[in-house]
Amino acid sequence: MSNSKEDSTWSLIAFRVLVNTASHPIEYAKVLIQIGHEPIPPYPTKTLFGKPALALPNVFQYVSYIKSVDGFTGCYRGLTPKLCANAVSGIVFNKVSDHLNFNEEDKPDEDDITEEERRWRYVQRLTRDIIARTAAIITSQPFTVIAVRMMAQFVGGETKYSGIFGSIRTIYQENGIGGFFSGVIPRILGDITSLAISTTLTFAINHYLVDDRDIRTYVSASMNFVASAVTYPFQLVSTCMAVTNSGLVAGKPPHMPIYSSWTDCWSHLSRTNQIKRGSSLIWRYYVGPQIVINGQKVALNKNNFIANGAM
């Protein structure tokens, strides 16, 4: 039984590797958007409601731009440490979950237990998943920081972070041990909050509103989407904190302020209406200072463009 479960775990990891490799260029572009890098000027357009607006390139146009600068292989900058982070995260999560399984396999079906037992089982599962998710994030964060910084080098055309071992040495020399965990607090808070929201909503809907088993299978995915949207700012702040004060062009003015803490970063992004930056990858609109010239909106600065005014 244990061998079968272990084989299943490694099969899942292999599948995730394939998916993450295929989707990496999109994730790469998203990271650059999150840290505020907008190399392509906004252009006049209209919203779905017909209002004049300034549009920014969607994620596919952004990937095309990266390819035009660095070539096809350049679209996979930061892939290796990202795969390491995902592998470490998956293994640790499964190991901790198994250790805190609370004899889950020996328990009867939820339709055959009392309401109080259902609630207690929900609390146990949520507690187990929070502990496992926290452990997974902490152990994988150093690789995540390396991956994000490798991708952020695109802004300044740098090669400071060129390999995992070289990046480890660079981070330690410049930021110390704490550098490996840049952005870990908002990442943990966001993940735990998202998990609590999705798990609680799924439990409440499935046990109090929905009786059809077929419909229940879709509730969890829907609630995960809702929870991810609500907690997105934590993900954004975590990415920015992994880059700020890194010595990279992307992590210092004028591209990014040097934030003293993740709360400082959150406060700045909120004040500048950037707290949802990168949440939409298809329909993206410039939200920085702008003026209307001849009936059309124009981004306002000396070049009629501000690099970090995107959503």
**What are the pLDDT digits (tens) for 116-164?**
777 888 899 999 999 999 999 999 999 999 999 999 999 999 999 989 9
Which pLDDT score is estimated for 306?
A: 41
Q: Does residue 102 lie within any of the structural domains? A: yes
Q: Does residue 258 lie within any of the structural domains? A: yes
Nearest to 206 by CA among 190, 191, 221, 184: 221
CB–CB of 239/183 below 8 Å? yes
Q: Does residue 168 lie within any of the structural domains? A: yes
Q: Does residue 214 lie within any of the structural domains? A: yes
CA distance 102 to 299: 57
Q: Does residue 179 lie within any of the structural domains? A: yes
Burial class of 98 by CB neighbour count within 10 A (0 to 12, 13 to 18, 19+) = middle
The dihedrals phi and psi of 247, each to the nearest 5 degrees, come to 90, -5
Which pLDDT score is estimated for 161?
A: 93
Cβ neighbours of residue 48 under 8 Å, at least 6 residues apart?
A: 283
> The domain spanning residue 276 has which CATH number?
1.50.40.10
Q: How many domains does the chain have?
A: 1
Residues of the chain with pLDDT under 50: 302-309
Q: Does residue 311 lie within any of the structural domains? A: no
Tokens of 243: 């880059």
Structural domain of 76: 2-45+56-286
Which pLDDT score is estimated for 297?
A: 57
Compute the Cα dihedral for 61, 34, 191, 223 and give only its sign.
Answer: negative
Which pLDDT score is estimated for 295?
A: 53
CA distance 282 to 57: 8
CB–CB of 170/260 below 8 Å? no
Q: Does residue 101 lie within any of the structural domains? A: yes
Q: Does residue 309 lie within any of the structural domains? A: no
What's the CA dihedral at 290, 294, 295, 297 to 10 degrees? Answer: -20
